[in-house]
Amino acid sequence: MARMNIEPNEDGVRIAPLSALDDFEVAQGYPDVRGWKVLSTEGTEVGAVHDLLIDVDNLRTRYLDVRLTKELAATPDDRDVLVPIGTANIVDDQKLVRVPLTAERFGLLPLYDHGHLSRKHEVEVRRHFSLGEAAAATATGAVAGAGAGAAQREFYDDAGYDDRKFFGERRAPYTEVPGQHRGSDRSTVDRPVTDRELADRELAAREAVNRELGARDADRPLADRAIRTSESEVRVPVDRDESVVLKRGEGGRDEIIIRRPAVDRGDRAT
């Protein structure tokens, strides 16, 4: 873990700059966006990525620390503001970061002074990006004394704080502690898993489950497979390889006979 003493916010969440975390580094396969130019909605250069703010307990990037241009800062001193990571997008081949705010709105973001990041400051940032109507109420309630775990899940449970959106199809966490593996955060150890690969895996898993359930149904006795749907109707699931024969009986009673293919019957006889 990090060697510096990180003060948690009101909800017990520990947020710290990546540059101050000696044991953290950018994960393999990801570009280090620090120093990349930041563009507004209209394509105006508003600054550059100065640092990243990390949720150290969950190995997740929550904010871009953007240092505004001198023109936009309107001050000879450096002025930094925060951008929720999931609201921005990168352009790899140009080393650019695009943020869905106008240059004017960038100038209205609250100043980030690199000190303790309070939930009040986060709520103010969130308002500028419209990350949910209930964001302010949720955070205000948390500061007033709501449960720490619930408050953390609710506040960051938004696409605007999902660093996977920032990097598109990459799915491993953006930051990592060398030598430490978090199974809940990684889809694969060697490389990130794409959305297509994940969909293929889910489809294969569903097909395997369906085959297993079908095999179980085929081996179950007929009486166990019968499902009564009404007073006058009973349904029996049948495997696609089984044949169904209706036999007319005497006394008004009919019989339904379900047969497996002859090869199956022969195999069972031997």
- The Cα-based distances of 120 to 17, 67, 163 in angstroms read 18, 21, 22
The whole-angstrom separation of Cα 163 and Cα 86 is 5
Q: Which residues contact 34 (CB under 8 A, 6 or more apart)?
A: 18, 19, 49, 50, 51, 52
**pTM score above 0.85:** no
The whole-angstrom separation of Cα 76 and Cα 81 is 16
The whole-angstrom separation of Cα 35 and Cα 38 is 9
The whole-angstrom separation of Cα 28 and Cα 175 is 9
The whole-angstrom separation of Cα 211 and Cα 217 is 10
The whole-angstrom separation of Cα 162 and Cα 230 is 49
Backbone angles phi, psi at 83, to 5 degrees: -125, 120
**CA torsion through residues 52, 55, 59, 63, sign:** negative
Tell me which fold the domain 15-187 belongs to.
Photosynthetic Reaction Center; Chain H, domain 2 (3.90.50)
| Mean per-residue pLDDT pooled into runs of 10, the chain (270 residues) | 66 88 82 94 96 90 95 90 94 90 93 90 91 48 47 75 76 59 41 57 69 60 62 65 63 64 50
- CB-based contact 258:235 (threshold 8 Å): no
CATH 3.90.50.10 domain position(s) in the chain:
15-187
- The Cα-based distances of 138 to 44, 86, 153 in angstroms read 33, 19, 11
User: Which residues lie across from 82 on neighbouring strands?
Assistant: 65
Backbone angles phi, psi at 100, to 5 degrees: -80, 55
